[in-house]
Amino acid sequence: MIVLGIEASGGVSGAALWTEEQGMSSVALAGRGRHARNVADAIQALLATLEVEPEAIDLVAVGRGPGAFTGLRVGMGVAKGFAMGRNLPLVAVSSLAAMAAPACVEGTVVLAAGDARRSEIFGALYVVDPTGEIPVAISEEAAIPLTGLAAWVGQRLPSNLPLYIAGDGAEKAAQALVEGGVAAARLAAPDARRSAQPAVVARLGLERFRRDGPDDAAALDPVYIRPGVGG
């Protein structure tokens, strides 16, 4: 199985390739506003470096958002074009789940906080599944004003579990939670305080495909969340 992962929901656009022989390889290119070129360049670089022909790919996984409108539209368009043009299965993965995954461990809750600008985050709460590998959402995905974040989390957080904050909006979310009286929240490790990574999208996409099969590529759309919500 060879899996191509594509992610362009935040400040980093790129691609990852997972193969049974070589494991995971990825190319992520920073820079908002250059998503189309970044994704295309990343895919081309990966295939050339690993000497993989496009026809050898078995599955395409793409981050579906929420996130930046232009990046989501481009990432989804590239993924659908690549998959449908080669009659490949396509699966979409929550970009917030991809942010949460590196921080998810048993016995904790992770707030995936994507930087939505406008003094908001895109957020959702996750726990890890029994395998210890896959984040499972325990809340809806929402665009949350920082001023209402503490109340939003407080209404949804299980009282007996510690809270960690992941994603590229983690620092501003942590400050908002402290100011709102949720002092027990902790920042995840630095490598989990980033936008969704294509390598994680590829890994979660493969697991989702094994569990649920492919999505309907023609009907698949990015997830845009606006406007912000309160509690």
pLDDT score at 230: 40
pTM of the predicted structure, to 2 decimals: 0.91
Residue 123 and residue 62 share a domain: no
Domain span at residue 132 reads 97-192
Residue 103 and residue 188 share a domain: yes
| H-only helix segments in 105-197 | 149-156, 170-179
Average pLDDT over residues 99-110: 96
Residue length, the chain? Answer: 231
What CATH number does the domain containing 76 carry?
Answer: 3.30.420.40
What is the C-alpha separation between 194 and 77, in angstroms, rounded?
23
pLDDT tens figures, 59-73: 999 999 999 888 899
Whether 224 maps to a domain, the answer reads no
pLDDT tens figures, 71-97: 899 899 999 999 999 999 999 999 999
Q: Please choose, from the candidates 79, 119, 113, the residue with its C-alpha nearest in 3D space to the C-alpha of residue 99.
A: 113
Residue 24 and residue 101 share a domain: no
Q: 35 falls in which pLDDT band (50, 70, 90)?
A: low
Residue 186 and residue 207 share a domain: no
Burial degree of 87 (CB within 10 A; 0-12, 13-18, 19+): exposed
pLDDT tens figures, 176-221: 999 998 878 999 999 999 999 999 999 999 999 999 999 999 999 9
Six-digit token string for 96: 């917030």
Residue 66 and residue 13 share a domain: yes
pLDDT at residue 34 tops 70: no
Average pLDDT over residues 116-127: 94
Whether 229 maps to a domain, the answer reads no
- Mean pLDDT (the chain, rounded): 89
Residue 134 and residue 66 share a domain: no
pLDDT at residue 28 tops 60: no
pLDDT at residue 33 tops 50: no
What is the C-alpha separation between 109 and 112, in angstroms, rounded?
10
pLDDT tens figures, 126-161: 999 998 889 999 999 999 999 999 999 999 998 888
Q: How many domains does the chain have?
A: 2
Whether 142 maps to a domain, the answer reads yes
